[in-house]
A and B are shown apart, each in its own frame.
Chain A
Amino acid sequence: MKILTAPHMERCIGCHSCSLACARLVHKRLSWETAGIRIHSTGGLSTGFSAKRCLACDPAPCAAACPTGALAQRKGGGIIFKKKLCIQCGQCVPVCPVEAIMQDRDGWIYVCIHCGQCVDFCPHDCLEMRDPESVELGEVIA
């Protein structure tokens, strides 16, 4: 299964179109925060942007930490999220090494499910859906 990669983040202009698309299309929300991909400036606007998102761990520590099976290992990396099993405990949040899981005030979590719906909304083609096997050594996908 393909994973979301961000090989061209140096092109990012900080428009947040990807985050807004994820919130809108995946989570039915208007937000730049309750989304599986979130854009942050790295030390102010003058030093560029980074995309906070799931890097498709395999095995995924968040899935291991989830007590209910709401987060399950996804083939190819990352997780499958079953919202109806989630009890909003938040145990997945601190175990993610790259802070990719966002928990809102009500306890709901937002994490990339590698669906790729954000990709088409990036005006600078920073994002790509890739087969993990196709990522070459030394290639930057984060």
Chain B
Amino acid sequence: MNRPYFRVLEVDLSTGKSKLHRIDGRAEAIGGSGLAALLFERFGRVDLGWNEEEQPFILAIGPLTGAFPWMSKTVAAFKSPYHDQYTESHAGGRSALALKFADLDGLVITGRAGRLSSLEIGSRSIVIKDVSFMKGMDAYASGKLLRRMSRGGSGHRSILRIGPSGEIGSAMACINADTYRHFGRLGGGAVLGNKNLKGIIIQGDGSFELPDNSEYKKLFARVYEQVTATRMMHKYHSLGTPANLQALDDIKSLPWRNLQQTSDPEGIKGINGQRFADDALLRNGACSGCPVGCIHIGYVREKFSEDNRYIYRQVAYDYEPVFSCGTMLGVTETFDVLNILDVMEKVSLDSMSGGVALAWATEASARGLISEKETIVKLAFGEAEGYRQAARYLGTGANTFYRLLGQGTLKAAEEYGGAEFGCVLGQEMAGYATGELFFAAQSLGFRHSHLDTGGYSYDQKHEEKDVDKAVDFLMADEPGRCLLTSMVSCLFARSVYTEEVLGECLHALGYGEVTDKLAAAGERIRARRWRLRFATGFKPEDIVLPKRFYKVTTWKGPVDGDYLDGLRREYGRRLTELVKEGVDSET
């Protein structure tokens, strides 16, 4: 189980042939984020576009995957259709443990299938099937059909699939992971679509001998106790991430109606975490290997006949989708939000990006920049049915406008105007109007994710405007997160998995060589993936911050534009320096 190298399967969809690679570098790359960067260096081309046949789609797990609680995530890496640069997208579900038990540290998919296909892998199997009949099929139906076509393994397999948005090449297309989780952001779905790959089934059908010592069992019990007994567990276990909706609204940090407001004390009562739990929470779910079970699943029902005949569907909800398809669209009823999310799921759009894009389209409509000629349906804040239809139009690329919007809000704004109120921070914003540091951090962050660094948290704790101190925080915060995403842990577990605990976990499993180099590993992995990002075209100075972000009022008062610009300049400079230092030290 513990090996000093990586066991990586390469599948070439063009030829249908596969190859197992034994790749050195465990101590330096660890796994997850580090392994993904290593694999992109080996299999990817920085000089070619994201949609070239030879570009890889990479999945990577880590040395602690499945062996400790909360080590349940998979890192996907690819050149993004959104900005044509190297990126990562992370997802929970079952894929991490399924890959582990398929005896793989990484999966690299290159080439392009001649026809729409599915790929099924296990510890002793690789099967590529023609699934042309699934063309245009939504993510729910695709999941059901792939389950039926796959041989056995119920509960011990992971099914990743795309919907129509991936097939049409939308840069907002996500990859649905086991129905309720997603490789959401930066267009992974389009990467699979471009490869003519409708779905990936991973059979976790292997098993490993554990080290014959008591250290591992004792440590597992200790970590498990910490994970399940702390208040942190309670937060994710109880209301889940939606608990933050009320909290962020209370401190004027929740984007509403395309970020024209940061609080709506009345509106939030209809869609806060408690309201979702009271009205719509059907049950909970968990990623494999995680006892916390933060997945919150609500439901929608639909009357399809006057004779009181209904169907129902289960729809997962979290803080971010409720922000993007709720507050950002001015929708303040739980079931209305879930109904919009239901459509986003079917077309397999990243609901965060999709909701934020539709918020821009709503304001652009109100300002007369676009009309129903473009949007097909009337878009108005609070009117959920319009958004349900628009989500489908966006996910299926119903016309030129929606196809362009699917490439990014600012791409559409280039054509129609309205860039100044596009809520884009490198990609469509996450739900934090906490202040200057978050805006700087997401816009320049590696994944343009609120989880790249803790800028949103820093904003909530610091009123002073000290550029160096704030950027010091971002620079110091990122390596620890890189370490976690290389293990690969859920980032919710960051207070449990300190560097010391990670070292103990690795040691207990026999990864002594990794433990010895752990202190520097986070820094090294951070630099490695930033080098790839810069090599594929990232320039901090190219990231434009729309004017809307300068007009936001948070709990600290109006955003200070000079401070925000200072943060962006300094953060960009430090990142550039980081990459330059790395290159210099290697030459």
Q: Which residues does A use to contact B, with CB under 8 Å?
A: 13-17, 20, 23-25, 28-34, 38-42, 44-46, 48-49, 104, 121, 123-124
Contact = CB atoms under 8 A, between A and B. Distances in A.
B510 to A, nearest CB: 12
A123 B293 contact: yes
Contact of A15 (B156, B204, B217, B293): B293
Main secondary structure of the interface of B (DSSP, over half): loop
A29 B205 contact: no
A20 B65 CA distance: 12
Interface of B: 1, 66-67, 69, 97, 100-101, 143-144, 147, 154-156, 178-180, 204-210, 212, 216-217, 220, 224, 228, 237, 283-293, 295, 314
A28 B143 CA distance: 34
Contacts of A32: 66, 97, 101, 155-156, 204, 288
Contacts of B228: 123
Given A44-B143, A104-B207, A16 B67 contact: no
B205 A33 contact: yes
A126 B127 CA distance: 36
Given A13-B284, A45-B179, A48-B283, 4 more contacts: A13-B285, A14-B155, A34-B207, A39-B155
B174 to A, nearest CB: 17
B217 A25 contact: yes
Nearest to B100: A30
27 contacts: A13-B284, A14-B155, A14-B285, A15-B287, A15-B290, A16-B288, A16-B289, A17-B69, A17-B291, A24-B216, A29-B207, A29-B209, A29-B210, A30-B100, A30-B207, A31-B206, A32-B97, A32-B156, A33-B101, A33-B205, A38-B156, A40-B156, A44-B143, A45-B179, A45-B285, A49-B155, A124-B293
Contacts of B144: 44
Most buried by B among A30, A34, A49, A104: A30
Contacts of A46: 179, 314
Contacts of B288: 14-16, 32
What are the 10 A-B residue pairs with the smallest beta carbon separation, nearest first? A40-B155, A31-B207, A15-B286, A13-B293, A13-B286, A123-B291, A34-B207, A30-B208, A40-B154, A41-B155
B159 to A, nearest CB: 9
Contacts of B286: 13-15, 123
A20 B66 contact: yes
Given A13-B293, A20-B289, A32-B204, A121 B179 contact: no
Given A16-B289, A44-B147, A31 B212 contact: no
Contacts of A14: 155, 285-286, 288
Nearest to B284: A13
A25 B218 CA distance: 10
A113 B67 CA distance: 23
B406 to A, nearest CB: 27
Contacts of A15: 286-293
Nearest to B227: A123
Contacts of A42: 154
Contacts of B293: 13, 15, 123-124
B440 to A, nearest CB: 37
Contacts of A28: 209-210, 212
A34 B206 CA distance: 9
B295 A38 contact: no
A66 to B, nearest CB: 22
A55 B481 CA distance: 44
B204 to A, nearest CB: 7
B1 A30 contact: yes
A45 to B, nearest CB: 5
Contacts of A29: 207-210
Nearest to A28: B210
Nearest to B220: A24
Nearest to A49: B155
Contact of B208 (A31, A45, A49): A31
B501 to A, nearest CB: 18
A95 B21 CA distance: 41
A87 B67 CA distance: 30
A74 to B, nearest CB: 25
Given A13-B284, A44-B144, A31 B155 contact: no
Contacts of B66: 20, 30, 32
Contacts of B210: 24, 28-30
A15 B66 CA distance: 11
A31 B31 CA distance: 19
A11 to B, nearest CB: 8
A31 B155 CA distance: 13
Contacts of B155: 14, 32, 38-41, 49
Contacts of A33: 101, 156, 204-205, 207
A40 B67 CA distance: 20
Contacts of B283: 13, 48
